[in-house]
Structure 1
Amino acid sequence: MLTLQQALRRHPLPRLEARMLLQHVRPGLTHARLIADPDLLLSEAETSQFEQLALRRLQGEPMAYLLGEREFYGRNFRVSPAVLIPRPETEHLVEAALERLGQAPAQVVDLGCGSGAIAITLALEAAAWVVSAVDLSPDALQVAMGNAQQLGASVRFQQGSWYQPLGELAGFDLIVSNPPYIEQHDHHLAEGDVRFEPRMALTDEHDGLSCLREIIAGAPARLKAGGWLMLEHGFDQGDVVRQLLRSAGLQNVATLPDLAGLDRVSIGQMADN
Protein backbone atom coordinates (compact mmCIF):
# COMPACT_ATOMS: atom_id res chain seq x y z
CA MET A 1 0.00 0.00 0.00
CA LEU A 2 1.07 3.58 -0.61
CA THR A 3 0.46 6.91 1.03
CA LEU A 4 -0.70 9.81 -1.11
CA GLN A 5 2.77 11.34 -0.96
CA GLN A 6 4.43 8.09 -1.99
CA ALA A 7 2.01 7.66 -4.89
CA LEU A 8 2.69 11.17 -6.14
CA ARG A 9 6.43 10.52 -6.15
CA ARG A 10 6.44 6.92 -7.32
CA HIS A 11 6.25 7.47 -11.09
CA PRO A 12 7.71 10.15 -13.39
CA LEU A 13 4.29 11.55 -14.18
CA PRO A 14 3.38 15.23 -14.25
CA ARG A 15 2.12 16.03 -10.76
CA LEU A 16 -1.28 17.15 -12.03
CA GLU A 17 -1.82 13.87 -13.86
CA ALA A 18 -0.79 11.85 -10.79
CA ARG A 19 -3.27 13.84 -8.68
CA MET A 20 -6.05 13.24 -11.20
CA LEU A 21 -5.38 9.50 -11.14
CA LEU A 22 -5.41 9.46 -7.35
CA GLN A 23 -8.73 11.33 -7.28
CA HIS A 24 -10.07 8.82 -9.78
CA VAL A 25 -9.14 5.74 -7.73
CA ARG A 26 -10.33 7.34 -4.47
CA PRO A 27 -13.60 9.19 -5.21
CA GLY A 28 -14.19 12.17 -2.94
CA LEU A 29 -10.49 12.90 -2.51
CA THR A 30 -10.22 16.67 -2.83
CA HIS A 31 -7.24 18.75 -3.88
CA ALA A 32 -7.17 20.24 -0.37
CA ARG A 33 -7.05 16.77 1.21
CA LEU A 34 -4.19 15.78 -1.08
CA ILE A 35 -2.16 18.70 0.25
CA ALA A 36 -3.26 18.57 3.89
CA ASP A 37 -3.02 14.81 4.44
CA PRO A 38 -0.04 13.49 2.43
CA ASP A 39 0.30 10.43 4.73
CA LEU A 40 -3.24 9.21 4.02
CA LEU A 41 -2.93 5.53 3.19
CA LEU A 42 -4.49 4.10 0.05
CA SER A 43 -6.12 0.69 0.31
CA GLU A 44 -4.58 -2.29 -1.46
CA ALA A 45 -7.24 -2.08 -4.18
CA GLU A 46 -6.69 1.68 -4.63
CA THR A 47 -2.93 1.23 -4.74
CA SER A 48 -3.20 -1.52 -7.34
CA GLN A 49 -5.58 0.51 -9.50
CA PHE A 50 -3.37 3.58 -9.28
CA GLU A 51 -0.29 1.57 -10.24
CA GLN A 52 -2.03 0.12 -13.28
CA LEU A 53 -3.32 3.50 -14.44
CA ALA A 54 0.05 5.18 -13.90
CA LEU A 55 1.84 2.55 -15.98
CA ARG A 56 -0.72 2.88 -18.77
CA ARG A 57 -0.24 6.65 -18.74
CA LEU A 58 3.53 6.25 -18.91
CA GLN A 59 2.98 4.16 -22.03
CA GLY A 60 1.14 7.11 -23.56
CA GLU A 61 -2.50 6.17 -23.11
CA PRO A 62 -4.67 9.32 -23.02
CA MET A 63 -5.79 10.61 -19.64
CA ALA A 64 -9.35 10.80 -20.96
CA TYR A 65 -9.45 7.04 -21.50
CA LEU A 66 -7.84 6.34 -18.12
CA LEU A 67 -10.35 8.56 -16.32
CA GLY A 68 -13.21 7.53 -18.60
CA GLU A 69 -14.41 11.06 -19.29
CA ARG A 70 -13.60 14.39 -20.91
CA GLU A 71 -15.21 17.79 -20.57
CA PHE A 72 -16.90 19.34 -23.60
CA TYR A 73 -18.85 22.59 -23.59
CA GLY A 74 -18.94 22.57 -19.80
CA ARG A 75 -20.23 19.01 -19.42
CA ASN A 76 -18.49 15.73 -18.68
CA PHE A 77 -18.84 13.07 -21.36
CA ARG A 78 -17.97 9.43 -20.88
CA VAL A 79 -15.36 8.24 -23.35
CA SER A 80 -13.72 4.95 -24.22
CA PRO A 81 -11.33 3.73 -26.93
CA ALA A 82 -14.45 3.21 -29.07
CA VAL A 83 -14.78 6.97 -29.61
CA LEU A 84 -12.67 10.02 -30.31
CA ILE A 85 -11.81 12.17 -27.33
CA PRO A 86 -13.82 15.43 -27.61
CA ARG A 87 -11.59 18.41 -28.28
CA PRO A 88 -12.03 22.14 -27.60
CA GLU A 89 -11.75 22.91 -31.34
CA THR A 90 -15.02 21.10 -31.95
CA GLU A 91 -16.83 23.55 -29.68
CA HIS A 92 -16.55 26.04 -32.55
CA LEU A 93 -18.89 23.81 -34.55
CA VAL A 94 -21.46 23.94 -31.76
CA GLU A 95 -21.10 27.71 -31.43
CA ALA A 96 -21.55 28.23 -35.17
CA ALA A 97 -24.75 26.18 -35.16
CA LEU A 98 -26.27 27.95 -32.18
CA GLU A 99 -25.33 31.38 -33.52
CA ARG A 100 -26.96 30.85 -36.90
CA LEU A 101 -30.08 28.88 -35.93
CA GLY A 102 -30.84 30.39 -32.54
CA GLN A 103 -33.46 28.75 -30.36
CA ALA A 104 -36.22 28.34 -32.97
CA PRO A 105 -37.48 24.79 -33.60
CA ALA A 106 -35.20 22.92 -36.00
CA GLN A 107 -34.51 19.44 -37.34
CA VAL A 108 -30.84 18.61 -36.79
CA VAL A 109 -28.59 15.63 -37.48
CA ASP A 110 -25.01 14.89 -36.43
CA LEU A 111 -23.25 12.50 -38.83
CA GLY A 112 -20.57 10.33 -37.25
CA CYS A 113 -21.52 11.28 -33.71
CA GLY A 114 -18.88 9.29 -31.78
CA SER A 115 -19.32 10.04 -28.07
CA GLY A 116 -22.38 12.15 -28.89
CA ALA A 117 -20.70 15.33 -27.68
CA ILE A 118 -21.94 17.51 -30.55
CA ALA A 119 -25.48 16.12 -30.83
CA ILE A 120 -26.08 16.02 -27.07
CA THR A 121 -24.71 19.52 -26.55
CA LEU A 122 -26.94 20.91 -29.29
CA ALA A 123 -29.99 19.14 -27.83
CA LEU A 124 -29.27 20.57 -24.38
CA GLU A 125 -28.39 24.08 -25.56
CA ALA A 126 -31.41 24.42 -27.87
CA ALA A 127 -34.38 22.72 -26.25
CA ALA A 128 -36.68 23.23 -29.24
CA TRP A 129 -34.40 21.37 -31.64
CA VAL A 130 -35.16 17.78 -32.66
CA VAL A 131 -31.74 16.17 -32.82
CA SER A 132 -30.71 12.90 -34.48
CA ALA A 133 -27.27 11.30 -34.52
CA VAL A 134 -25.74 8.65 -36.75
CA ASP A 135 -22.64 6.51 -36.37
CA LEU A 136 -21.36 3.43 -38.17
CA SER A 137 -19.90 1.93 -34.99
CA PRO A 138 -22.31 0.13 -32.64
CA ASP A 139 -19.76 0.51 -29.83
CA ALA A 140 -19.61 4.28 -30.35
CA LEU A 141 -23.40 4.47 -30.30
CA GLN A 142 -23.46 2.66 -26.97
CA VAL A 143 -21.16 5.32 -25.52
CA ALA A 144 -23.24 8.12 -27.06
CA MET A 145 -26.53 6.72 -25.81
CA GLY A 146 -25.08 6.38 -22.33
CA ASN A 147 -23.99 10.01 -22.40
CA ALA A 148 -27.42 11.16 -23.56
CA GLN A 149 -29.07 9.27 -20.73
CA GLN A 150 -26.61 10.52 -18.13
CA LEU A 151 -26.94 14.15 -19.24
CA GLY A 152 -30.69 14.06 -19.83
CA ALA A 153 -30.58 14.82 -23.55
CA SER A 154 -33.25 13.75 -26.02
CA VAL A 155 -31.39 12.50 -29.11
CA ARG A 156 -32.46 9.86 -31.62
CA PHE A 157 -29.51 7.58 -32.40
CA GLN A 158 -29.26 5.49 -35.57
CA GLN A 159 -26.61 3.05 -36.77
CA GLY A 160 -25.27 3.32 -40.30
CA SER A 161 -22.99 5.14 -42.71
CA TRP A 162 -23.61 8.87 -43.03
CA TYR A 163 -27.05 9.46 -44.60
CA GLN A 164 -27.91 5.78 -45.15
CA PRO A 165 -30.19 5.27 -42.10
CA LEU A 166 -31.98 8.60 -42.60
CA GLY A 167 -33.84 7.83 -45.83
CA GLU A 168 -33.82 9.77 -49.06
CA LEU A 169 -36.35 12.45 -48.19
CA ALA A 170 -35.15 13.54 -44.76
CA GLY A 171 -35.33 17.33 -44.43
CA PHE A 172 -32.99 19.08 -42.01
CA ASP A 173 -32.43 22.66 -40.94
CA LEU A 174 -28.89 21.70 -39.93
CA ILE A 175 -26.46 18.92 -40.76
CA VAL A 176 -23.27 18.86 -38.69
CA SER A 177 -20.31 16.50 -38.81
CA ASN A 178 -16.78 16.04 -37.56
CA PRO A 179 -15.82 13.25 -39.98
CA PRO A 180 -12.49 11.45 -40.47
CA TYR A 181 -10.33 13.99 -42.29
CA ILE A 182 -6.72 12.95 -41.67
CA GLU A 183 -4.81 11.70 -44.71
CA GLN A 184 -3.87 8.03 -44.37
CA HIS A 185 -0.10 8.59 -44.21
CA ASP A 186 -0.17 11.65 -41.96
CA HIS A 187 2.48 11.33 -39.26
CA HIS A 188 0.05 12.59 -36.59
CA LEU A 189 -1.71 9.20 -36.67
CA ALA A 190 1.34 7.70 -34.96
CA GLU A 191 1.78 10.43 -32.35
CA GLY A 192 0.34 11.36 -28.97
CA ASP A 193 -3.22 10.53 -27.93
CA VAL A 194 -4.22 9.86 -31.54
CA ARG A 195 -2.32 6.54 -31.45
CA PHE A 196 -4.96 5.17 -29.08
CA GLU A 197 -8.08 6.57 -30.71
CA PRO A 198 -10.22 4.60 -33.21
CA ARG A 199 -8.50 4.87 -36.58
CA MET A 200 -11.76 4.72 -38.51
CA ALA A 201 -12.85 7.94 -36.81
CA LEU A 202 -9.60 9.71 -37.71
CA THR A 203 -8.75 8.83 -41.30
CA ASP A 204 -10.64 7.83 -44.44
CA GLU A 205 -7.59 5.70 -45.40
CA HIS A 206 -7.32 7.95 -48.45
CA ASP A 207 -6.61 11.65 -48.98
CA GLY A 208 -8.54 12.87 -45.93
CA LEU A 209 -11.30 14.34 -48.08
CA SER A 210 -13.44 11.39 -49.18
CA CYS A 211 -15.83 11.56 -46.20
CA LEU A 212 -16.12 15.32 -46.53
CA ARG A 213 -16.91 14.91 -50.24
CA GLU A 214 -19.61 12.31 -49.55
CA ILE A 215 -21.28 14.38 -46.84
CA ILE A 216 -21.24 17.55 -48.94
CA ALA A 217 -22.53 15.77 -52.05
CA GLY A 218 -25.48 14.30 -50.15
CA ALA A 219 -26.42 17.43 -48.24
CA PRO A 220 -28.46 19.41 -50.81
CA ALA A 221 -31.02 16.61 -51.15
CA ARG A 222 -31.51 16.52 -47.39
CA LEU A 223 -31.38 20.18 -46.38
CA LYS A 224 -34.46 22.36 -46.20
CA ALA A 225 -34.45 25.73 -47.92
CA GLY A 226 -32.22 27.96 -45.81
CA GLY A 227 -30.74 24.95 -44.01
CA TRP A 228 -27.07 24.80 -43.05
CA LEU A 229 -24.29 22.27 -43.49
CA MET A 230 -21.42 22.67 -41.00
CA LEU A 231 -18.24 20.59 -41.06
CA GLU A 232 -15.11 20.36 -38.98
CA HIS A 233 -11.97 19.66 -40.99
CA GLY A 234 -8.19 19.91 -40.95
CA PHE A 235 -6.35 23.21 -40.66
CA ASP A 236 -5.12 22.94 -44.27
CA GLN A 237 -8.42 21.87 -45.86
CA GLY A 238 -10.38 25.12 -45.74
CA ASP A 239 -9.86 26.06 -49.39
CA VAL A 240 -10.89 22.72 -50.83
CA VAL A 241 -13.89 22.32 -48.51
CA ARG A 242 -15.17 25.77 -49.49
CA GLN A 243 -14.82 24.79 -53.14
CA LEU A 244 -16.77 21.58 -52.52
CA LEU A 245 -19.54 23.47 -50.73
CA ARG A 246 -19.88 25.96 -53.57
CA SER A 247 -19.81 23.19 -56.19
CA ALA A 248 -22.71 21.54 -54.38
CA GLY A 249 -24.72 24.74 -54.84
CA LEU A 250 -24.54 26.00 -51.27
CA GLN A 251 -24.45 29.70 -50.51
CA ASN A 252 -22.99 31.89 -47.77
CA VAL A 253 -19.95 29.63 -47.73
CA ALA A 254 -17.36 30.53 -45.11
CA THR A 255 -14.60 29.02 -43.01
CA LEU A 256 -14.38 29.81 -39.30
CA PRO A 257 -11.04 29.76 -37.46
CA ASP A 258 -10.30 28.10 -34.15
CA LEU A 259 -8.67 29.90 -31.22
CA ALA A 260 -5.27 29.40 -32.83
CA GLY A 261 -6.46 31.20 -35.95
CA LEU A 262 -6.43 28.01 -38.05
CA ASP A 263 -9.19 26.97 -40.45
CA ARG A 264 -11.41 24.57 -38.52
CA VAL A 265 -15.11 24.72 -39.47
CA SER A 266 -16.60 25.39 -42.91
CA ILE A 267 -20.26 26.16 -43.46
CA GLY A 268 -22.68 26.54 -46.35
CA GLN A 269 -26.41 27.27 -46.69
CA MET A 270 -29.12 26.09 -49.03
CA ALA A 271 -30.81 28.82 -50.99
CA ASP A 272 -33.86 30.15 -49.15
CA ASN A 273 -36.52 29.81 -51.83
Structure 2
Amino acid sequence: MIIDDRLATVLRTPLAGAPGTRTQVRQLIDLLDRQPDSQWTTAHDDALAQLGARLESLPQHDQARIAAEANLRSPRLVAHLAEASPRVAAAALSAARLTDAQWLALIPALSPMARGLLRHRRDMGRDRTSEPARLLARLGVGDSPLPLPDDYEPVAVPPVLRVVGHDSLAPADDTPTPSPALPPRVAEEVQGISAIVRRIEAFRRNRAATAAQILTDSEAARAHPHLPFADGFAPPALTAIDITLDPAGEIVSAEGGAAAML
Protein backbone atom coordinates (compact mmCIF):
# COMPACT_ATOMS: atom_id res chain seq x y z
CA MET A 1 0.00 0.00 0.00
CA ILE A 2 1.40 3.35 -1.09
CA ILE A 3 0.54 6.43 0.98
CA ASP A 4 0.98 9.84 -0.65
CA ASP A 5 2.26 12.13 2.11
CA ARG A 6 3.64 14.87 -0.13
CA LEU A 7 1.01 17.34 1.06
CA ALA A 8 1.85 16.75 4.72
CA THR A 9 5.55 17.00 3.94
CA VAL A 10 5.14 20.40 2.33
CA LEU A 11 3.08 21.70 5.24
CA ARG A 12 5.70 20.51 7.75
CA THR A 13 8.49 22.33 5.95
CA PRO A 14 9.48 25.45 7.93
CA LEU A 15 9.11 28.73 6.10
CA ALA A 16 12.34 30.55 5.21
CA GLY A 17 11.18 34.09 4.60
CA ALA A 18 9.39 35.34 1.50
CA PRO A 19 11.29 33.09 -0.96
CA GLY A 20 10.42 29.99 1.06
CA THR A 21 6.78 31.09 1.30
CA ARG A 22 6.55 31.57 -2.46
CA THR A 23 8.04 28.12 -3.06
CA GLN A 24 5.64 26.46 -0.62
CA VAL A 25 2.63 28.26 -2.13
CA ARG A 26 3.56 26.99 -5.60
CA GLN A 27 3.97 23.46 -4.25
CA LEU A 28 0.57 23.53 -2.52
CA ILE A 29 -1.14 24.86 -5.65
CA ASP A 30 0.47 22.13 -7.74
CA LEU A 31 -0.56 19.34 -5.35
CA LEU A 32 -4.12 20.56 -4.78
CA ASP A 33 -4.66 21.22 -8.46
CA ARG A 34 -3.89 17.59 -9.27
CA GLN A 35 -6.33 16.20 -6.73
CA PRO A 36 -9.59 14.95 -8.30
CA ASP A 37 -12.85 15.97 -6.66
CA SER A 38 -13.72 12.33 -6.02
CA GLN A 39 -10.61 11.92 -3.85
CA TRP A 40 -10.88 15.24 -1.99
CA THR A 41 -10.69 14.83 1.80
CA THR A 42 -10.65 16.99 4.92
CA ALA A 43 -6.86 17.00 4.75
CA HIS A 44 -7.11 18.79 1.43
CA ASP A 45 -9.52 21.30 2.97
CA ASP A 46 -6.96 22.03 5.70
CA ALA A 47 -4.22 22.37 3.10
CA LEU A 48 -6.42 24.78 1.12
CA ALA A 49 -6.85 26.93 4.22
CA GLN A 50 -3.09 26.89 4.83
CA LEU A 51 -2.57 27.91 1.21
CA GLY A 52 -4.82 30.94 1.68
CA ALA A 53 -2.96 32.05 4.81
CA ARG A 54 0.45 31.72 3.19
CA LEU A 55 -0.72 33.45 0.02
CA GLU A 56 -2.05 36.45 1.94
CA SER A 57 1.33 36.92 3.63
CA LEU A 58 2.89 37.74 0.26
CA PRO A 59 2.64 41.09 -1.59
CA GLN A 60 -0.21 41.52 -4.06
CA HIS A 61 2.03 41.40 -7.12
CA ASP A 62 3.58 38.11 -5.96
CA GLN A 63 0.14 36.60 -5.35
CA ALA A 64 -1.10 37.62 -8.80
CA ARG A 65 2.04 36.36 -10.54
CA ILE A 66 1.83 32.94 -8.84
CA ALA A 67 -1.87 32.61 -9.72
CA ALA A 68 -1.25 33.62 -13.34
CA GLU A 69 1.56 31.09 -13.78
CA ALA A 70 -0.58 28.15 -12.61
CA ASN A 71 -2.68 26.28 -15.18
CA LEU A 72 -5.54 25.66 -12.76
CA ARG A 73 -7.68 22.62 -13.57
CA SER A 74 -9.33 22.09 -10.18
CA PRO A 75 -12.73 23.79 -9.75
CA ARG A 76 -12.24 23.80 -5.97
CA LEU A 77 -8.91 25.61 -6.26
CA VAL A 78 -10.30 28.08 -8.81
CA ALA A 79 -13.28 28.83 -6.56
CA HIS A 80 -10.96 29.40 -3.59
CA LEU A 81 -8.65 31.81 -5.45
CA ALA A 82 -11.63 33.62 -7.00
CA GLU A 83 -12.58 34.84 -3.52
CA ALA A 84 -9.22 36.57 -3.01
CA SER A 85 -8.50 40.20 -3.88
CA PRO A 86 -9.66 41.38 -7.33
CA ARG A 87 -6.10 41.34 -8.66
CA VAL A 88 -5.46 37.75 -7.57
CA ALA A 89 -8.95 36.60 -8.60
CA ALA A 90 -8.52 38.07 -12.08
CA ALA A 91 -5.20 36.27 -12.52
CA ALA A 92 -6.61 32.94 -11.29
CA LEU A 93 -9.76 33.11 -13.42
CA SER A 94 -7.72 34.05 -16.47
CA ALA A 95 -5.34 31.11 -15.96
CA ALA A 96 -8.07 28.54 -15.24
CA ARG A 97 -8.39 25.68 -17.75
CA LEU A 98 -11.78 24.20 -16.94
CA THR A 99 -14.19 22.42 -19.22
CA ASP A 100 -17.55 23.94 -20.14
CA ALA A 101 -19.29 21.52 -17.79
CA GLN A 102 -17.05 22.58 -14.92
CA TRP A 103 -17.66 26.28 -15.67
CA LEU A 104 -21.42 25.74 -15.77
CA ALA A 105 -21.26 24.15 -12.33
CA LEU A 106 -18.88 26.77 -10.90
CA ILE A 107 -20.26 30.07 -12.26
CA PRO A 108 -23.48 30.14 -10.16
CA ALA A 109 -21.39 29.67 -6.99
CA LEU A 110 -19.03 32.56 -7.79
CA SER A 111 -19.46 36.04 -6.35
CA PRO A 112 -20.73 38.86 -8.59
CA MET A 113 -17.21 40.30 -8.63
CA ALA A 114 -15.73 37.03 -9.87
CA ARG A 115 -18.45 36.64 -12.51
CA GLY A 116 -17.67 40.10 -13.80
CA LEU A 117 -14.01 39.20 -14.15
CA LEU A 118 -14.90 36.21 -16.34
CA ARG A 119 -16.09 38.47 -19.16
CA HIS A 120 -12.44 39.36 -19.84
CA ARG A 121 -11.75 35.79 -20.93
CA ARG A 122 -11.74 35.33 -24.69
CA ASP A 123 -13.95 32.25 -24.49
CA MET A 124 -16.60 34.12 -22.47
CA GLY A 125 -16.31 37.84 -23.00
CA ARG A 126 -16.15 37.90 -26.81
CA ASP A 127 -17.47 34.47 -27.80
CA ARG A 128 -21.15 34.63 -26.84
CA THR A 129 -21.93 31.26 -28.41
CA SER A 130 -20.40 29.07 -25.68
CA GLU A 131 -22.57 27.72 -22.89
CA PRO A 132 -20.64 29.48 -20.09
CA ALA A 133 -20.90 32.80 -21.98
CA ARG A 134 -24.66 32.42 -22.39
CA LEU A 135 -24.94 31.56 -18.69
CA LEU A 136 -23.11 34.75 -17.78
CA ALA A 137 -25.43 36.72 -20.06
CA ARG A 138 -28.47 35.22 -18.33
CA LEU A 139 -26.99 36.18 -14.96
CA GLY A 140 -26.65 39.78 -16.16
CA VAL A 141 -22.87 39.76 -16.61
CA GLY A 142 -21.62 41.64 -19.66
CA ASP A 143 -20.64 45.04 -20.96
CA SER A 144 -22.44 44.99 -24.31
CA PRO A 145 -24.91 47.81 -25.08
CA LEU A 146 -28.66 47.37 -24.95
CA PRO A 147 -30.20 45.90 -28.13
CA LEU A 148 -31.92 48.32 -30.51
CA PRO A 149 -35.63 47.95 -31.30
CA ASP A 150 -36.62 46.21 -34.52
CA ASP A 151 -38.18 49.34 -36.04
CA TYR A 152 -35.19 51.56 -35.29
CA GLU A 153 -34.06 53.74 -38.18
CA PRO A 154 -31.00 55.93 -37.82
CA VAL A 155 -31.63 59.61 -38.48
CA ALA A 156 -28.96 61.38 -40.48
CA VAL A 157 -28.08 64.78 -39.09
CA PRO A 158 -27.10 67.21 -41.88
CA PRO A 159 -23.85 69.03 -41.30
CA VAL A 160 -24.11 72.66 -40.30
CA LEU A 161 -22.25 74.92 -42.73
CA ARG A 162 -21.54 78.57 -42.14
CA VAL A 163 -21.24 80.71 -45.27
CA VAL A 164 -18.87 83.63 -44.84
CA GLY A 165 -19.42 86.49 -47.29
CA HIS A 166 -17.18 89.34 -48.29
CA ASP A 167 -19.11 91.77 -46.14
CA SER A 168 -18.19 89.87 -42.99
CA LEU A 169 -14.50 90.16 -43.90
CA ALA A 170 -14.59 93.97 -44.19
CA PRO A 171 -12.35 95.83 -41.72
CA ALA A 172 -14.04 96.99 -38.59
CA ASP A 173 -14.90 100.67 -38.21
CA ASP A 174 -12.69 102.27 -35.54
CA THR A 175 -14.97 105.31 -35.15
CA PRO A 176 -16.13 105.38 -31.52
CA THR A 177 -19.84 105.07 -31.00
CA PRO A 178 -21.25 108.17 -29.28
CA SER A 179 -22.61 107.56 -25.82
CA PRO A 180 -26.34 108.03 -25.40
CA ALA A 181 -27.47 111.28 -23.83
CA LEU A 182 -28.18 111.14 -20.10
CA PRO A 183 -31.31 112.58 -18.51
CA PRO A 184 -30.89 116.16 -17.11
CA ARG A 185 -30.97 115.08 -13.47
CA VAL A 186 -28.45 112.33 -14.04
CA ALA A 187 -26.26 114.69 -16.06
CA GLU A 188 -26.24 117.23 -13.19
CA GLU A 189 -25.28 114.51 -10.71
CA VAL A 190 -22.48 113.35 -12.97
CA GLN A 191 -21.19 116.91 -13.39
CA GLY A 192 -21.33 117.48 -9.62
CA ILE A 193 -19.41 114.30 -8.96
CA SER A 194 -16.87 115.24 -11.63
CA ALA A 195 -16.33 118.64 -9.98
CA ILE A 196 -15.77 116.99 -6.60
CA VAL A 197 -13.30 114.59 -8.14
CA ARG A 198 -11.43 117.46 -9.79
CA ARG A 199 -11.22 119.35 -6.49
CA ILE A 200 -9.92 116.27 -4.71
CA GLU A 201 -7.27 115.77 -7.37
CA ALA A 202 -6.24 119.46 -7.15
CA PHE A 203 -6.00 119.17 -3.36
CA ARG A 204 -3.80 116.11 -3.69
CA ARG A 205 -1.53 117.86 -6.20
CA ASN A 206 -1.17 120.95 -3.97
CA ARG A 207 -0.49 118.79 -0.92
CA ALA A 208 2.16 116.88 -2.83
CA ALA A 209 3.78 120.13 -4.00
CA THR A 210 3.74 121.56 -0.46
CA ALA A 211 5.27 118.40 0.94
CA ALA A 212 7.99 118.54 -1.70
CA GLN A 213 8.73 122.19 -0.86
CA ILE A 214 8.93 121.42 2.86
CA LEU A 215 11.29 118.57 2.11
CA THR A 216 13.47 120.87 -0.02
CA ASP A 217 13.58 123.55 2.71
CA SER A 218 14.48 120.92 5.30
CA GLU A 219 17.35 119.67 3.17
CA ALA A 220 18.59 123.24 2.66
CA ALA A 221 18.40 123.89 6.41
CA ARG A 222 20.44 120.77 7.10
CA ALA A 223 23.03 121.98 4.57
CA HIS A 224 23.30 125.47 6.22
CA PRO A 225 22.61 125.09 9.95
CA HIS A 226 21.92 128.18 12.10
CA LEU A 227 23.23 128.91 15.56
CA PRO A 228 20.86 128.30 18.44
CA PHE A 229 18.35 131.08 19.03
CA ALA A 230 19.31 132.72 15.77
CA ASP A 231 16.58 134.20 13.62
CA GLY A 232 15.77 132.40 10.49
CA PHE A 233 15.87 135.63 8.40
CA ALA A 234 18.39 138.53 8.16
CA PRO A 235 17.23 141.90 9.66
CA PRO A 236 16.25 144.60 7.15
CA ALA A 237 18.93 147.11 6.19
CA LEU A 238 18.82 150.58 7.92
CA THR A 239 18.22 153.17 5.22
CA ALA A 240 16.64 156.24 7.05
CA ILE A 241 16.08 157.82 10.49
CA ASP A 242 14.03 160.89 11.54
CA ILE A 243 15.69 163.25 14.09
CA THR A 244 14.88 166.72 15.53
CA LEU A 245 17.68 169.18 16.40
CA ASP A 246 17.61 172.31 18.62
CA PRO A 247 19.27 175.64 17.65
CA ALA A 248 22.46 174.43 19.24
CA GLY A 249 22.56 171.35 16.95
CA GLU A 250 21.79 168.72 19.59
CA ILE A 251 19.35 165.88 18.96
CA VAL A 252 16.09 166.49 20.69
CA SER A 253 14.14 163.45 19.40
CA ALA A 254 14.61 160.54 16.98
CA GLU A 255 12.30 158.08 15.21
CA GLY A 256 13.25 154.91 13.39
CA GLY A 257 14.83 151.55 13.95
CA ALA A 258 18.05 152.97 15.36
CA ALA A 259 16.48 155.71 17.56
CA ALA A 260 17.40 153.84 20.73
CA MET A 261 21.06 153.98 19.85
CA LEU A 262 21.10 157.83 19.72
In which range does the TM-score fall when normalised by the shorter chain? under 0.3
Normalising by structure 1, report the TM-score.
Answer: 0.24
Instruction: Looking at secondary structure, tell me which structure has more strand per residue.
Output: 1
Greater Cα radius of gyration, structure 1 or 2: 2
Normalising by structure 2, report the TM-score.
Answer: 0.25
Instruction: Looking at secondary structure, tell me which structure has more helix per residue.
Output: 2
